[in-house]
Chain A
Amino acid sequence: MLYREAGQFKSSYAEDQQIFPIRQDRIALAVFLAFAFLVVPVIGNQYWLSAILTPFLIFALAALGLNLLTGYAGQLSLGTAAFMAVGAFMAYNFVLRMPWLGIIPSFILAGLCAAAVGIVFGLPSLRIKGFYLAVATLACQFFVLWAIQRWGWITNYSTSGVIAAQKVAIFGYAVETPAEKYLLTLAIVAVMALAAKNLMRSETGRAFMAVRDMDVAASVIGIPMMKTKLLAFAISSFYCGVAGALYAYTYLGTVEPEAFTLDLSFRVLFMIIIGGIGSILGSFLGAAFITVFPIFLNIASGWTSHALGIEISHALVSNLELIIFGGLIIFFLIVEPSGLARLWQITKEKLRLWPFPH
């Protein structure tokens, strides 16, 4: 009833090909973006902005990068955290050694460095697929961390190997408060998400999906395997690199190699599995689930122990959190293996018929 296309006519190819062809979608998106950019920084308190929303956006960007590689191009990769680490450390080095560049060009260059590393470790994908490729990218994960710990230049020879991110300033305007950091992150993530969506609707995206579905057939019809696969690794690593740089500059403020372990790679992989492989929205939904839900469980357990008046042992609470979280992941995968994005799609389809059942 509300979600009907009746009366909306497209009179040009541009209108027909837009990302959100239905007017209600465009209005909803505009409202949502206005809320995110204008209302949230004003009403959001510091805890929400700096501990929940900013990491959510950063991990959504990393999940987006992995989704481009694994979801759209079909190349399984476990090196996400390593690419984020490269992005973070190289961003630090660019700001340190070339401060005249500015922070956004430094992020872009850091992303390009991560892309270069991605291309190098994506070379095995030309020969191996699936699980075996995952193991090759696992090598990337360990090697990059080892290299960062051994190569003193990259941490500016700091004794502890932990680097403190410098202050962020865009055109002389300092980005210091949580609201400003949130806005910077949101702007970067929004632009890159739009770029990713358009990329996947273009010829490159179709080449990726052809490689994912059946790479032999793709090469038969003339899609160049090496270029496509390496491009997928490069773009994905670029996104992960920028996410890593944001992680250092707008979220934690310090970077150490221990923050980018295999654990983080798996976490990002779980985000896209839960959220939906091969879907841009899925990256965001999965990131929201995995970053926000454990904190919600932690706070909720505090409420329940207050409400019921019993003192639950704190270790039990923390372990329960992990158990419930794991159980929910299994539940989601049984109920909807295609992820939360598919649930959203089904909702929209039902909405088109609403209030009619069929």
Chain B
Amino acid sequence: MKRNVLAMAALAAAAAVGVSTPAAAQNEQFIPANYYWVGPYAPGGSGFGGGIIDYFAMLNERDGGINGVKLTWEKCETEYNNARGVECYERSKKKGPTGATVIHPLSTGITYSLIEKATADKIPVISMGYGRTDASDGRVFPYIFPLITNYWSQNTAKIKFIGMKEGGMDKLKGKKIVNIYHDSAYGKETIPVLDAQAKKFGFQVTHIPVPHPGNEQQAQWLQVRQIKPDWVILRGWGVMNPTALKAAAKVGFPRTKIVGVWWSGAEEDVIPAGDAAKGYIAAGFNLPGSEFPVMKDIQKFVYAKGKGEFEDKSRFGSIYHTRGVVAGILTVEAIRLAQTRYGKGKPITGEQMRWGLENLRIDGKRLKELGAVGLMQPLKVSCMDHEGGGAVKFLQWDGKKWNVITDWIASDQSIVRPMIEASASQYAKEKSITARDCGKEG
């Protein structure tokens, strides 16, 4: 008797679940939130995810969505794993009235896996600040957008910064630079552009790989000590970064001569290294801070109502958080632009979003309206150029926070662009894709 009652109760509950599917609202824009909240890269993933969801939530609260179309999202854990990323993509791509609008994979590996699938499904992929670098050539990769800046552009800006510190690009001749990189697809991407610049400016570059995950770097930094370079470029990810800084302190290499990439330049990368991280310089395409007007709006409309993504309020305004907010800004502006062409106040499809992204323009005036002046740089995307920006700022860690030490330093497109076009055309040849003719499109 008791077993029967329990069974009936279970059945009733299951039936209630089955019946109570929410009615699909038609005026919604669905954006999958396929990031990672667990695993060794969780601080980055949860920070970015928190930022982008916070921005969407703020927009829904403050403006009622984009011209009345509310933004919706669904979280899916990718664990920074390609197979899980593809599975999350397949699961989420048909949700919402018009399907998934855009994907932010937050992983170079997952981006590579999604390139063909997303292009076939007509869903744009924004790989903001990461790979695939040669997707900056929009003629071969119509659906992939490595917005704001890609690895090669950033690398040329870094060499420019080093040249600046040395007193001029001509002073780079004869200098020694070591490139310590994470031994993965991400880490290896900048080797060719560094070699090209070494040839052009006359400096010596040594590439030292650190096997994943990078907990052990004694051997590599002893090698650095032997080489006695003038500068070290740190291209790490996750736990490799604080380990590198601690190892550098142990061998006595000054951290003020270590320049990290933006995936090595967040609070989570330097705080575990403690005092060893003081003076370390990192590149960034977005700045931290909670005083920007847009961040204040998020505080007012989301966190004050108890709905923010972060339980740990000290993470508000951190680099990954603002990076997520920047990604949110890009997504929303592109949707807004697409709506002006395809119908205001109606949800847009992935194909229409692609047009929006390809014609995205965010100038200084718009940044001021958005409340993001200084948070990100102005952007101009086009069919030829899916990158749109290319400049970085450099920040220095003082033990407590990141301080901006330069203005926006532009990349050297004279080096980067030919390499991108060469690489993209090789991909096109391998895959028998005909590159689009940018002059013919609207």
Contacts and interface: CB of A to CB of B under 8 A. Distances in A.
Contacts of A319: 38
A314 to B, nearest CB: 5
Contacts of A314: 37, 75, 77
Given A50-B90, A162-B109, A318 B185 contact: no
Given A46-B90, A164-B112, A298-B77, A252 B183 contact: no
A321 B76 CA distance: 13
Interface in B108-156: 108-109, 112-113, 115-117, 131-132
B309 to A, nearest CB: 9
Given A166-B430, A314-B77, A254 B112 contact: yes
Interface in A36-62: 46-47, 50-52, 55
Nearest to A253: B116
Nearest to B33: A314
Interface in B26-40: 37-38
Contacts of A251: 83, 86
Contacts of B343: none
Contacts of A50: 86, 90
Contact of B185 (A256, A261, A303, A307): A256
A283 B74 CA distance: 34
Given A46-B90, A159-B189, A159-B192, A315 B184 contact: no
Contacts of B212: 258, 261
Interface in A15-53: 46-47, 50-52
A160 interface: yes
A51 B82 contact: no
Contacts of A303: 17
Contacts of A201: none
A253 B85 CA distance: 13
A205 to B, nearest CB: 32
B370 interface: no
B154 to A, nearest CB: 15
B423 A159 contact: yes
Nearest to B423: A159
Interface in A316-340: 317-319, 321-322
B38 A258 contact: no
B188 interface: yes
Contact of A160 (B42, B113, B185, B431): B185
Nearest to A59: B83
Interface in B80-94: 82-83, 86-87, 90-91, 94
A43 B365 CA distance: 52
Given A254-B82, A317-B77, A160 B131 contact: yes
A109 to B, nearest CB: 20
Task: Give chain A's interface secondary structure class.
Answer: helix
B86 A315 contact: no
Nearest to B212: A258
A167 B132 CA distance: 20
A252 B82 contact: yes
Interface in A178-203: none
Given A159-B191, A160-B188, A307 B113 contact: no
Report whether over half of chain B's contact residues are helix, strand or loop; otherwise say mixed.
helix
Nearest to B209: A149
Interface string B381-419: 000000000000000000000000000000000000000
Contacts of A161: 184-185, 188
Contacts of A128: none
Contact of B87 (A164, A295, A307, A315): A295
Interface residues of A, number: 38
A138 to B, nearest CB: 15
Contacts of B42: 315
Contacts of A47: 90-91, 94
A253 B77 contact: no
Report which residue of A161, A254, A307 has the largest number of chain B beta carbons within 10 angstroms of its beta carbon: A254
B240 to A, nearest CB: 14
B421 interface: no
Given A315-B38, A318-B77, A159 B431 contact: no
A259 interface: yes
B112 A256 contact: yes
Contacts of B191: 159
A266 B131 CA distance: 29
Given A47-B91, A253-B117, A314-B37, A258 B77 contact: no
Contacts of A46: 90
Contacts of A322: 38
A340 to B, nearest CB: 22
Nearest to A150: B209
A306 interface: yes
Nearest to B431: A164
Interface in A214-251: 251
A287 to B, nearest CB: 13
Contacts of B13: 307
Contact of B83 (A252, A299, A317): A252
A74 B131 CA distance: 44
A159 B188 CA distance: 6
Interface in A61-107: none
Contacts of B117: 253
A252 B185 contact: no
A318 B112 contact: no
Contacts of A55: 83
Interface in A150-168: 159-162, 164, 166-167
Contact of A258 (B17, B109, B131, B132): B109
Interface string B4-39: 000000000100110010000000000000000110
B46 interface: yes
A160 B132 CA distance: 9
A179 B430 CA distance: 24
B77 A162 contact: no
B186 to A, nearest CB: 8
24 contacts: A46-B90, A50-B86, A51-B86, A51-B90, A51-B91, A52-B87, A149-B183, A159-B189, A159-B423, A161-B185, A162-B109, A162-B112, A164-B427, A166-B430, A166-B431, A252-B82, A252-B86, A253-B113, A253-B116, A258-B185, A261-B212, A298-B77, A307-B16, A307-B20
Interface of A: 46-47, 50-52, 55, 146, 149, 159-162, 164, 166-167, 251-254, 256, 258-259, 261, 295, 298-299, 302-303, 306-307, 313-315, 317-319, 321-322
- Per CB-CB distance, the 7 closest pairs between chain A and chain B, nearest first, are A315-B37, A160-B185, A307-B17, A51-B90, A318-B77, A51-B87, A162-B185
Given A55-B83, A160-B131, 4 more contacts: A146-B211, A160-B188, A161-B188, A314-B77
